[in-house]
Structure 1
Amino acid sequence: MKRIFLFLLTNIAVMVVLSITMNVLGVGRYLTANGLDLSQLLIFSALVGFTGAIISLLISKWMAKTSTGARVIDPQAPANAREAWLVDTVHQLADRAGIGHPEVAIYEGEPNAFATGAFKNNALVAVSSGLLESMTEEEIGAVLGHEISHVANGDMITLTLIQGVVNTFVVFLARVIGYFVDRVLLKNDKDVGLGYYATVIVCEIVFGILASVIVAWFSRRREYRADAGSAHLLGAREPMIHALARLGGVQAGELPKTFQASGIAGAQAISAIFASHPPLAARIQALQTMRVA
């Protein structure tokens, strides 16, 4: 919770500095004199930027179950020995990580797994039937440790906050530039015109692409941390190394777009800078050089 508070405080400070900088440079005063209230725009941008991201987080468990067809295992009445082992392993790892027991689910598909949920003590960990069939218990345990580490690290919440912040800047800067183009370059002294709307659309596309690079960079960082977290929870790096090597030899299952960044294996990206996951070889190398306490 402290990390989230500091993160929010830092980004609020960044927004305040941006607003002050624009006023010092005279941009804010000029735009205000021409009818644009930067404070109101910043509030509007934050509402637009954060609302969608936060709502998606709050309903993420429901969306995950619905979109993947995941079946939650009743911890009191697992259907078979494999399900009982799966639930018991997840609960043991959660205890070691100091979080509440998440729901455990299985869904049909090629090898993959993910964790999601708005709260550390009320999360969901799901694994595919393909992963259960293609990996050993040791490797599955490492994958579960990876997903539990995501939950314990608060990665879903932090990624949502980062997405909200970059969305806010996209909305804010696109409208500031649109207003500037419409009023200054096109000399429109009436209500905002076509130049404003066209500029906003173009800027949101361009800034949105840049924002996705930032979000993808953070997503890759959290994958390294989750891999390391699995090694610490298990007390050894080898199970996670073996699990990643196994993933490299199979066709990983694709998750719905909303949860692609949450999977143990990431989806293909048009460029490495847009990838939500580092290459498997890089993740294995990072594990090989880390120190396990």
Structure 2
Amino acid sequence: MNFFRTMLLLAALTALFMAIGFLIGGQTGMLIAFLIAAGMNVFAYWNSDKMVLAQQGAEEVDERTAPELYSIVRQLAANASLPMPKVYIIHTEQPNAFATGRNPQNAAVAASAGLLRIMSKEEVAGVLAHELAHIKNRDTLTMTIAATIAGAISMLANFGMFFGGNRDNNGGGGIISTLLAVMVAPLAAGIIQMAISRSREYVADKDGGEICQRPLWLASALQKIEQAAHQIPNEQAERNPASAQLYIINPLSGQGMDNLFSTHPNTANRIAALVEQARQMGHTQEPTAAHMSPVPGFEDGAGGSGPWQQRPRSSRRPFEIGPWNR
């Protein structure tokens, strides 16, 4: 089903790409747009994850540079029966995270610096379990390709403003058509919303709760992220709004065109579903972080050898959040 959905998404975005080319440059423009779209489809399948990570300013870390984060991902991946994904840190103070990759064997998870700074390690585990659920359900290919090609469509429309002002002999529509082409960003966003159902977040929440065995960890994290996301800007996401649907919570400020790219369900409804899941699993504590320990070892690494300067190992508490070890 995910493969069919991805192919349908590629076809729809390719058709829209060609329509913009026709509006800008007539038949010649449509042919050029088709050739570009064909090349982009191939490129996006193999490289869209790398492009998204680069656009979001993500930096890869390993067991040496971020041992606590890496350990959490490794234990969760093992519990989900997934290969160990690559691990990245996004250098933004907005707490958030996303997953990407064309399949579980070529996947990556990215957590923001803000997420690691304000969340407990239990909450971080809940968030990363949600992202691993996206990988396990193979949502990431569709989500990443949508972000890449929809962003390219918006760029093509803006390009037309500068070079599409004159009518040509092949049917180009001049400045009026160019203005219409620039208005296709809402169409691109609409296609993303149709291709990427909001229900996928509920499924990833549920599966993530099963992976970490503590749905309330994720519920608490969602509550914190929702409160902070609209107060702390994410400049990388604002520059590439088509990537918003990758994140666990909408990273956009909600101003102007941002709402068009929102593909996330209501956070309160997601929390309620997680609380009910926890009740069914026999966990009845309220989704608060008061009893949770802070994430050790995630201080700002300015001047350090890596993106995170770790506390001395003797001062760090052992990693003991995994109920899969109990």
- The interval holding the TM-score normalised by the smaller chain is 0.5 to 0.7
Amino acid of the structure 1 residue aligned with 2:139: D
- Structure richer in helix, relative to its length: 1
2:227 paired residue number? 249
Q: CA RMSD, aligned part only?
A: 4.2
> Where does 1:152-171 land on structure 2 (aligned, <5 Å)?
152-160=136-144
Q: 1:130 Cα shift?
A: 2.1
Alpha-carbon contact 1:252-1:265 (below 8 Å) kept: no
| Gaps in structure 2 of 5+ consecutive residues | 16-25, 155-166, 282-326
Counterparts of 2:204 and 2:6, CA distance in 1: 19
2:114 paired residue number? 130
> In structure 2, do the counterparts of structure 1 residues 223 and 85 end up closer, same or farther at CA, with 3 Å as the change threshold?
same
Match of 1:282 among 269, 289, 292: 269
1:4 paired residue number? 3
2:303 paired residue number? none
Give CA-to-partner distance per residue, 1:103-150, whole Å, 9 cap, x none.
123344312222223332122212223212211111110011111122
Amino acid of the structure 2 residue aligned with 1:268: S
Q: 1:9 Cα shift?
A: 6.7
> In structure 2, do the counterparts of structure 1 residues 48 and 223 end up closer, same or farther at CA, with 3 Å as the change threshold?
farther
> Where does 1:64-143 land on structure 2 (aligned, <5 Å)?
64-65=53-54, 67-68=56-57, 70-73=59-62, 75=63, 78-79=64-65, 83-110=66-93, 111-143=95-127
Counterparts of 2:125 and 2:8, CA distance in 1: 37
2:300 paired residue number? none
Counterparts of 2:132 and 2:77, CA distance in 1: 6
2:19 paired residue number? none
Counterparts of 1:95 and 1:219, CA distance in 2: 28
| Gaps in structure 1 of 5+ consecutive residues | 17-34, 171-187
Counterparts of 1:117 and 1:10, CA distance in 2: 16
> 251-260 or 117-126, which moves further after superposition?
251-260
Alpha-carbon contact 1:219-1:261 (below 8 Å) kept: no
Counterparts of 1:132 and 1:168, CA distance in 2: 31
> In structure 2, do the counterparts of structure 1 residues 168 and 142 end up closer, same or farther at CA, with 3 Å as the change threshold?
closer
Counterparts of 1:12 and 1:152, CA distance in 2: 24
Q: 1:242 Cα shift?
A: 0.9
Counterparts of 1:10 and 1:65, CA distance in 2: 23
Alpha-carbon contact 2:55-2:236 (below 8 Å) kept: no
Aligned residues: 247
Give CA-to-partner distance per residue, 1:177-216, whole Å, 9 cap, x none.
xxxxxxxxxxx9x9235x6244542443344312312314
Q: 1:273 Cα shift?
A: 4.8
Alpha-carbon contact 2:90-2:111 (below 8 Å) kept: yes
Counterparts of 1:11 and 1:65, CA distance in 2: 22
Amino acid of the structure 2 residue aligned with 1:8: M
Match of 1:211 among 188, 192, 195: 188
2:218 paired residue number? 240
The structure with higher relative contact order (CA 8 Å, sep 6+) is 2
2:132 paired residue number? 148
Helix, strand or coil at the partner of 1:256: helix
**TM-score between the two structures when normalised by the length of structure 1:** 0.65
Alpha-carbon contact 2:60-2:86 (below 8 Å) kept: no
Q: 1:164 Cα shift?
A: 8.3
Helix, strand or coil at the partner of 1:147: helix
Counterparts of 2:276 and 2:139, CA distance in 1: 23
Alpha-carbon contact 1:46-1:168 (below 8 Å) kept: no
Counterparts of 2:152 and 2:61, CA distance in 1: 35
Identity %: 28
1:178 paired residue number? none
> In structure 2, do the counterparts of structure 1 residues 53 and 143 end up closer, same or farther at CA, with 3 Å as the change threshold?
farther
> 212-221 or 126-135, which moves further after superposition?
212-221
Counterparts of 2:53 and 2:149, CA distance in 1: 24
Task: Kindly indicate whether residue 210 of structure 2 is the aligned counterpart of residue 228 of structure 1.
Answer: no
Counterparts of 1:255 and 1:97, CA distance in 2: 32
Alpha-carbon contact 2:97-2:127 (below 8 Å) kept: yes
> Where does 1:42-53 land on structure 2 (aligned, <5 Å)?
47-49=35-37, 51-52=39-40
